[in-house]
Structure 1
Amino acid sequence: MESILVIEDNPDTREWLVALAREAFPGAVVDEEATLTGAKSRLDAGYNLALVDLSLPDGSGVDILVDIQGDYPDTFAVVTTIYDDDRHLFAAIRAGAKGYLLKDQPRERLVTQLKGIARGDPPLSPGVSRRILRYLAGGARRSEPDAPKLTDREMEVLSLLSRGFNRHDIGKALDITANTAAGYVKSIYRKLHVSGRAEAIREAIGYGLVGTGHNDN
């Protein structure tokens, strides 16, 4: 890989992904963009690899996956995300993603998965591979678009939120970065259609997702 584009809106996470890309591919030129618009304007440069976040401030990363597949087939597109549900996974694959990596993995594993591209190994997180196999076997279940279906990791984060943990505490408890924890919280709020911790806990209790022994502080 000689040239890489990292598309990620969170500054800390973007810096982290740039460092991962440079570790996996020493000597590569690594550019970065925080928005869909900015990323689209750069694609004519002809990147070998694009690391694409799905949640961007001006649209979905799926849109740029479609552009890459149609207009820049020589760019190897890999999703880097916190979303480990079927809806996001299969939407990304249909749009042209050649890999799907979850950000909450250990750094060393992510670097190894990226290095595997040179050997022809698809960069897929273990849980993602299992989902694809289940789907191909006919066992995947599709969730309703508006259903508050949380992933296992989101349930863990929600449980900690209900106990009064902030994003830094959640990060330490789950051995992930505070920014990754914040991303999970953002996803939980979106799925539950709420804007804050107290609302999220009330909705979660109503759905039976957490018990009543919570702490709103």
Structure 2
Amino acid sequence: MSDAAVAFASALVVDDLPGARAWLAAAVEAAFPGIAVTLAGSVAEGLARIDPPPALALVDLGLPDGSGIQLIEALQQRGAGTFCIVATVFDDDAHLFPALRAGAQGYVLKDRDRDALAAMLRGIVDGQPPLSASIARRLLRHFQPAVDAGEAQVPLTPRETEVLRLTAKGLTVGEVATVLALSRHTVSGYLKDIYRKLSVGTRAEATLEAARRGLVAP
């Protein structure tokens, strides 16, 4: 039997969407052959399936009867050492940090194929934290030492700053173009330059940076 199989003999997968549950379960089974996988579609169902606690838990956050964080907290309170991983579409601080505070030891986004997720899960046995790349970058930025704003901020042009501010407020590319009397193509070009300068890859990350720069309310 492999070290991976020994490390995780049982797993709980919690997601309200049947397709997502099946995908996550398939990734777990590919990562740890022979593992016993239990499925749940809500917080209540998950709570009913943690006695005895599983060795591994993949938990979605947006569940029909609450947050997956409730389930992570319940598993941590049992003190059974369950390795809890969030599997979600949410890549913002409002979901990431509460989940980590609750005891999640990994945070992966549902933007990978089954084999990539399985490889990430297998890495746990070798001590590699299961974190999506954008989540890892967010954590690194969050814990970087504070420095003077003039040294920390990559300079943006006035037009780039305005495009970033409007984008962070939730406006679409078309809406930003209308407000600034520009073409969609021009706005898309500004956004590409902004993402490159700020080393971000998503609107959520750009919004976080805009808040840090005082362009929008945090």
What's the TM-score bracket when you normalise by the shorter of the two chains?
A: 0.5 to 0.7
Within 5 A, what are the aligned runs for 1:95-110? 95-110=102-117
Q: TM-score, normalised by structure 1?
A: 0.64
The aligned counterpart of 1:51 is 58
Residue pair 2:24, 2:114 contacting (<8 A) in 1 also: no
Return 5+ residue gaps in structure 1 as ranges: 140-203
Q: Which has the larger radius of gyration?
A: 2
Percent sequence identity over aligned pairs:
44
The aligned counterpart of 1:209 is 172
Offset at 1:70?
1.5
Offset at 1:25?
0.5
- C-alpha separation between the residues in 2 aligned to 1:94 and 1:48? 19
- C-alpha separation between the residues in 2 aligned to 1:94 and 1:47? 20
- C-alpha separation between the residues in 1 aligned to 2:88 and 2:54? 20
Offset at 1:210?
3.2
- C-alpha separation between the residues in 2 aligned to 1:131 and 1:106? 22
Return 5+ residue gaps in structure 2 as ranges: 1-7, 147-166, 178-218
Q: In the TM superposition, what whole-angstrom CA distance separates every residue of 1:65-119 from its partner, at most 9, and x where no partner exists?
A: 1111121441110000011111111110001000001111233221111001111
Residue pair 1:43, 1:72 contacting (<8 A) in 2 also: no
Amino acid at match of 2:106: G
- C-alpha separation between the residues in 2 aligned to 1:57 and 1:65? 16
Distance 1:207 1:30, change over 3 A: closer
Root-mean-square deviation (Å):
2.0
The aligned counterpart of 1:69 is 76
- C-alpha separation between the residues in 2 aligned to 1:136 and 1:207? 26
Q: TM-score, normalised by structure 2?
A: 0.64
Within 5 A, what are the aligned runs for 1:52-201? 52-138=59-145
Distance 1:44 1:137, change over 3 A: same
The aligned counterpart of 1:197 is none
Q: How many residues align?
A: 149
